[in-house]
């Protein structure tokens, strides 16, 4: 098959490209190389696989002409290109809208006009569920927990877009579902939680697991906002890619649906009260941190209910956070030159 991956030089994109190239597929990476680490990821892919089945197109999802000129012949589109930070969306909401909302619309229109039988998978976000201020939370010794949702938040939860980022990603989410309904496109939406793994160049406001690991290895400061008991469900990138594979295999049966794809209740950590000791054990010393006030809209808990993905895709995560974070730490420690 031929895969067309928008944002393919990014963290999830390059890991996906690596996986599908390893299986013998063709991959076209469509990326504007605006993210830190993009060129390094491209160079790594070329070194791993050569260029016979790997092609790079330097392009931007805001450029409809560039998309239509490159997407032809694709069997699968992984639409991963995105503006990814809430803070950036607040600072520049127009750019955030143009990349996430207009960019996704452009991808859908390119598929509809050029290759309407193509399977399209969209990397959405759990931020489409908003702040969930009405969800009860209880405080425990090292973490917060839901009072009434033992399996996490399901796809039936009301959508409640918060921040320009939530609005723009949610717009793309809903366009994907509607283009299946109205035009019959073979789309799937994956509402992704905290994805982490090798080749992630995380920063403070996006990719926090990798950011903490990189900071610990490189001796850089870490800031913790709030009390560090905030809980997130973590999903290793290899488990995410297995979900992509299962989605592609079942696209005709499941098209036009949204799935929560996260670590679920079995793969959670509080962001510092539990993550900090794990990181200190890996580093062999305590990790100093700076403390700051709670940030507006910072959820005490987000855990995805992944039972629909288990039932419909036959999918569940295999890599627990301890194993995955240890692997990420070893990769960062062995590739310090990438973070200089």
Which residues are known catalytic residues? Answer: 165
Helix (H) or strand (E) holding 296: none
Give the Cα separation of 61 and 32 in Å (integer).
8
* DSSP per-residue letters across 209-273: HHHHHHHHHHT---EEETTS--EEEEEEHHHHHHHHHHHHHTHHHHTTEEEEES--TTSEEETTT
Helix (H) or strand (E) holding 207: none
Helix (H) or strand (E) holding 168: helix 163-183
For residue 31, what are the contacts with CB-CB under 8 A and spacing of at least 6?
6, 7, 8, 9, 10, 13, 38, 42, 56, 57, 58, 59, 81
Q: Output the CA angle 32-106-206, nearest 5 degrees.
A: 50
């Amino acid at each position: 098959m031929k895969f067309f991956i928008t944002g393919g030089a990014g963290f999830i994109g390059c890991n996906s490209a690596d996986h599908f190239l390893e299986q013998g597929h063709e991959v076209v990476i469509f990326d504007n190389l605006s993210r830190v680490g993009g060129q390094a990821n491209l160079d790594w892919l070329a070194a791993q696989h050569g260029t016979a089945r790997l092609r790079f197109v330097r392009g931007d999802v805001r450029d409809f002409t560039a998309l239509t000129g490159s997407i032809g012949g694709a069997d699968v589109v992984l639409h991963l290109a995105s503006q990814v930070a809430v803070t950036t969306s607040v600072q520049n909401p127009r750019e955030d809208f143009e990349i996430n909302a207009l960019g996704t619309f452009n991808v859908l229109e390119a598929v509809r006009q050029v290759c309407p039988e193509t399977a399209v998978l969209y990397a959405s976000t759990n931020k489409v569920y908003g702040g969930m201020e009405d969800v009860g939370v209880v405080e425990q010794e090292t973490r917060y927990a839901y009072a009434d949702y033992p399996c996490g938040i399901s796809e039936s939860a009301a959508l409640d877009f918060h921040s320009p980022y939530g609005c723009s990603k949610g717009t793309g989410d809903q366009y994907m579902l509607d283009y299946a309904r109205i035009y019959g496109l073979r789309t799937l939406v994956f509402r992704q939680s905290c994805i982490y793994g090798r080749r992630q160049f995380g920063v403070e406001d996006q990719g926090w697991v990798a950011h903490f690991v990189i900071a610990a290895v490189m001796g850089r400061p870490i800031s913790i906002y709030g009390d560090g008991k905030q809980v997130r469900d973590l999903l290793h990138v290899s488990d995410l890619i297995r979900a992509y594979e299962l989605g592609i295999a079942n696209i005709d049966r499941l098209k036009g649906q949204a799935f929560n794809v996260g670590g679920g209740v079995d793969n959670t950590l509080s962001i510092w009260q539990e993550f900090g000791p794990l990181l200190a054990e890996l580093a062999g010393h305590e990790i100093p941190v700076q403390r700051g006030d709670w940030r507006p809209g910072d959820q005490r808990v987000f855990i995805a209910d992944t039972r629909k993905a288990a039932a419909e895709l036959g999918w569940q995560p295999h890599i627990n956070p301890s194993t995955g974070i240890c692997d990420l730490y070893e990769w960062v420690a062995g590739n310090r030159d990438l973070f200089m």
